[in-house]
Chain A
Amino acid sequence: MNNDIPAHVPGGQGEVMAHAVDACVHCGFCLPACPTYALLGDEMDSPRGRIILMKEVLEGGLPLMDAAPHLDRCLGCMGCVTACPSGVPYGELITAFRGWSEPRRTRTPFDRAKRYAILKALPAPKLFSVAARVGQYAKPLAPLLPNALRSPLDLLPEHVPAMQPSPAITPAKGPQRGRVAFLVGCAQQALAPNFNAATLRVLARNGIEVVVPDGQGCCGAAALHTGARDEALTLVRANLNAFDPDDFDAILSNAAGCGAGLKEYPMVLHGEPDEARARAFAAKVMDISEYLNGLLQDGALEPMVPASRPLKVAYHDACHLAHAQGVKAAPRALLRAIPGVTVLEVPEGDLCCGSAGTYNLEQPELATQLGQRKAKHILSTTPDLIASGNIGCHTQIQSHVRRQHSGVPVMHTVEVLDLAYRGEL
């Protein structure tokens, strides 16, 4: 649609946003893909509506704070990007918009403090681990707290596990067939250390040497997507320095959100001197499931021990895997490669589980509704096991599955593979 954005927001980010708005033909094909539209049924809380709102604000036709509540409700799940027939880069639009609007908006002191805490704790695993422990002890107080504080507490596991630092080098078992770099992630290390341990075991078992380069940090996605562009740039540059793409066959992530973040580096550095480096880096980034599926397709994946009984696995598509990275077939193929496993499709599978990024903290009511809806749909398939490839989805689904009084285990895809290799499935 026509717009005057570059006239009002000159520069690279203005161009990025104008291009996205231009490409939208307001057909509405994205509406059914949007979780907030599914809950609220109004146009302002749909992707098409948000595009219009951003356009109006950027052109000066609408005060930012009038549009903000609707834009803040966007999960950034990218369901709309998958659905859009015109290829509108909605993700680039909202990310650029959040960066542009953050310094121009008002927030209550409470919101400001909360944002600050999130932005500081997420990228710092140790700090996050401490916070999680504090949170764990605060759990009994939960009923007394306002919802905004209660929901994140609900997500914490009963027992916050001890941190398990990953070794700098995990050698391949048997003849070495490959060498990869691994991004260990932040919050995940504190909440689910076994994801990384399982990843290292499965890769080693397949003859892959895994290096955890020193100096790596948070991928920066959380900062970027909440509008903290400067913080994000610092994190991005640190990772570009830590990983030399020429040294590795691939740069792997086992968290869908982080993987998507790493793949976004060229967009973040668009028009800056580091853009070429970012491209070379992003070209090597793969989700763990993409990489292992490559082995599987080449006939090079080590066979797994059959499950001890026929096992129905409901696979949940993490938005940042399915929509942001377009990885849908690989994890399913890997799970199916385990003898005895059937993969179940979840109704409404394309809709976000409600935990995207910091959503549980920012929009607890909607996050809870989406979590309940997701858990209900997953459980309707009567699975023996639930698998997914993202820490955020994992905690959200686990929490809501428990709340619906189900004991079905929730695992990372790679944990399932790891169990199969050990003959414990």
Chain B
Amino acid sequence: MSPEKQALTSTSSAHTPVSEGRSSNALAAALTRALGARKVLSNLSERLNYRYDAIQFGVTPLCVLLPESTADVVAVMRAARAAGVPVVGRGAASGLSGGAAPMVEAVVISFTRMTRLEIRPERREALAQPGVITLKVSEDARPHGLVYPPDPASFRTSTIGGNLGENAGGPMCFKYGVTGDYVKALEFVDADGDVHQLTRDAYDLAGLLIGSEGTLGLITDATLRLSTPAKYTRTLMAHFPEVGQAAEAVSSAIAAGAVPSKLEFMDQACTNAIEDYLHLGLPREAGAVLLVDTDGDDLHTVEEERALVEQACLAAGGQVRRAATDAEAAALWQARRSVSPALGRIRPQRMNEDIVVPRSALPEVVREIRALGDASGLTLVQFGHIGDGNLHPNILFNPRTESAEAVHTLAHEIALVAIRHGGVLSGEHGIGTMKRDFMRDAVDPVTLGALRDVKRALDPTGALNPGKILPDDVAGGLHAHP
């Protein structure tokens, strides 16, 4: 519980002056004078709301800034630096690794009001400020016959800044790539408050900023590449008696030359959760379900690719259903989109893993994780963008009745399975604080040293999002997920 929390009785509440929650912080006062009260939040009621993301609660910030321009960000950065206070960037706080939750008392810069978006159809690009909601880019591009392919499941909520911070991906990423693949240029403000304009040549400094979770600089503008949508899409669903068979089918379909635009998998626990919720008629007894889209501008190739996937599924022991119409395809995809709500109904809380393993190792990995889950006594489900080896094993738990330690232990074991099979800790959700402890298992000491050198070069005093990604230089205490 934060030290600012105070006892409150029902009789005293009515008389508590509003000013009691106001931070007496000099930095907040100076920033209010410089930028105006609209952009600076310093009441406790306001600050309490900028200490969490979708996975974790952190330390209540000293004050919160809602910039409307790059110049505002520069002003905050300079003031914070002068006051020796760290800075944490924040988008929609839908992150699943603790990235936007401050680990020490800090200034939080929330980008939700920097939402300028310009589509330049002739250059097939979009100019987006960091607070633009991901879906909005595609919506605004559509009338020009263009799309923005990166499609995290959170795209209705998450911001471009947060997507860049985490290098977000989604179902389309096997064929079309992740956020970073669509960045042409970036503007960022460094820890000193200096503004930099980056393109993708020479040292790919933009590439370094992408996925750095706000630890190297704050992105204030992005030029994003748009593309044209595929003319044809074909969909199929396959189900398998056992979870490893689904993974085998994926490996062999891709080996045979299929490049599906979406390739998603759900295990039995997942499909049953969805059935309980929506009664879509999914095969409850199946160990795993695959959902596959192939797309392109040449119908023949698109259907040929679907046939390749179909053969691989049958050969691995699966049963296949083709979607005959768009409506049928949409119905099949409804199942995948419902994973989150369906799981939310089983247990109030979940730990969402985000590992990526080589496709050849998939069958082994999903079987090992299944076994770990069964042995742990916790509820574990698996789904993910299996086409590029991205798996989301989710541990569902009730914090009132199940131990947080057991959850953490299982999560760590799962991470180790991924590493043992040549995989990585994060496909799209980032390291944040949730997987920081596992970094030593995943990265050798020399490389870890190089990462620290990079961090020091751009942020010598460690002012940007302290306590994230890199283990060791922990400042401040970690608050348990409340």
Contacts and interface: CB of A to CB of B under 8 A. Distances in A.
Interface of A: 1-3, 22-23, 25-29, 31-32, 41-44, 49, 52-53, 56-57, 59-67, 70, 83, 85-87, 104-106
B325 interface: no
Interface stretch (B249-257, B341-349, B411-419): B341-349
Interface stretch (B13-21, B263-271, B328-336): B13-21
Given A52-B49, A53-B48, A2 B482 contact: yes
Given A28-B94, A32-B133, A44-B46, 20 more contacts: A23-B344, A23-B348, A25-B54, A25-B344, A26-B54, A27-B94, A41-B131, A42-B112, A44-B45, A56-B5, A61-B5, A62-B48, A63-B20, A64-B8, A66-B20, A66-B43, A85-B340, A85-B344, A86-B345, A104-B10
A301 to B, nearest CB: 25
A32 B94 CA distance: 12
B6 interface: yes
Nearest to A8: B8
Contacts of A65: 13-14, 16, 18
Interface in B44-92: 44-46, 48-50, 52-54, 57, 66, 92
Given A23-B348, A62-B48, A42 B66 contact: yes
Contact of B8 (A32, A63, A70, A87): A63
B32 interface: no
Contacts of B340: 27, 29, 85-86
Given A42-B112, A60-B7, A87-B345, A28 B20 contact: no
Which interface residue of B13, B46, B154 has the most chain A CB atoms within 10 A?
B13
Contacts of A43: 46, 49-50, 93, 110, 112
Name the residue among B2, B8, B15, B349 with the largest chain A CB count within 10 angstroms. B8
Contacts of B53: 26
A86 B341 contact: yes
Given A27-B94, A28-B54, A49 B49 contact: yes
A66 B13 CA distance: 10
B45 A53 contact: yes
Contacts of B21: 62-63, 66
B455 interface: no
Given A28-B54, A60-B7, A42 B46 contact: yes
Given A62-B44, A63-B16, A25 B94 contact: no
A313 to B, nearest CB: 23
Chain B, interface size: which category? 35 or more
B1 interface: yes
A60 B44 contact: no
B41 interface: yes
Interface in B116-140: 131, 133
A283 B5 CA distance: 44
Given A23-B348, A85-B341, A70 B94 contact: no
28 contacts: A1-B482, A25-B344, A25-B350, A28-B54, A28-B157, A29-B156, A29-B157, A32-B133, A41-B115, A42-B49, A43-B112, A52-B52, A57-B8, A61-B48, A62-B48, A63-B8, A63-B16, A64-B16, A66-B45, A85-B341, A86-B341, A86-B344, A87-B341, A104-B13, A104-B14, A105-B13, A105-B14, A106-B14
A44 B13 contact: no
B13 A63 contact: yes
A250 to B, nearest CB: 25
Given A1-B482, A32-B157, A66-B21, A26 B52 contact: yes
A25 B57 CA distance: 11
Given A60-B8, A65-B18, A41 B112 contact: yes
Given A42-B41, A44-B45, A65-B16, A28 B93 contact: yes
B94 A29 contact: yes
B54 to A, nearest CB: 4
Contacts of B18: 63, 65-66
A275 B333 CA distance: 39
A52 B482 CA distance: 11
B113 interface: yes
A104 to B, nearest CB: 5
B399 interface: yes
Contacts of B93: 26, 28, 43
Interface of B: 1-2, 4-10, 13-16, 18, 20-21, 41, 43-46, 48-50, 52-54, 57, 66, 92-94, 110, 112-113, 115, 131, 133, 154, 156-157, 340-341, 344-345, 348-350, 399-400, 481-482
Contacts of B16: 63-66
B132 to A, nearest CB: 12
A85 B350 CA distance: 13
A26 B48 CA distance: 13
A106 B15 CA distance: 8
Q: Which 4 A-B pairs have the closest CB atoms?
A: A86-B344, A63-B16, A85-B341, A61-B5
A85 to B, nearest CB: 4
Contacts of B14: 64-65, 104-106
A27 B153 CA distance: 12
Nearest to B95: A28
Nearest to B15: A106
B344 A28 contact: no
A66 B110 contact: no
Contacts of A59: 5
Contacts of A105: 13-14
Contacts of B45: 44, 53, 56, 62, 66-67, 70
A254 B53 CA distance: 41
Nearest to A23: B348
A29 B154 contact: yes
B57 to A, nearest CB: 8
Contacts of B50: 43
Contacts of A60: 5-9
Contacts of B7: 60
A17 B2 CA distance: 22
Most chain A beta carbons < 10 A, residue from B49, B57, B94, B399: B49
B221 to A, nearest CB: 18
A142 B400 CA distance: 56
Contacts of B15: 106
Nearest to A37: B112
B431 to A, nearest CB: 19
Contacts of A66: 16, 18, 20-21, 43-45
A111 to B, nearest CB: 14
A364 to B, nearest CB: 19
Contacts of A31: 92, 157
Contacts of B112: 41-43
A4 to B, nearest CB: 10
Nearest to A107: B14
A64 B327 CA distance: 49
Contacts of A83: 156
Contacts of B341: 85-87
Contacts of B44: 62, 66
Contacts of A106: 14-15
Nearest to A52: B49
A61 B16 CA distance: 12
Given A29-B157, A70-B45, A87 B344 contact: yes
Nearest to B16: A63
Nearest to B68: A41
B226 to A, nearest CB: 21
A65 B8 CA distance: 12
Nearest to A70: B45
A65 B94 CA distance: 28
A61 B8 CA distance: 7
A44 B43 CA distance: 11
Contacts of B5: 56, 59-62
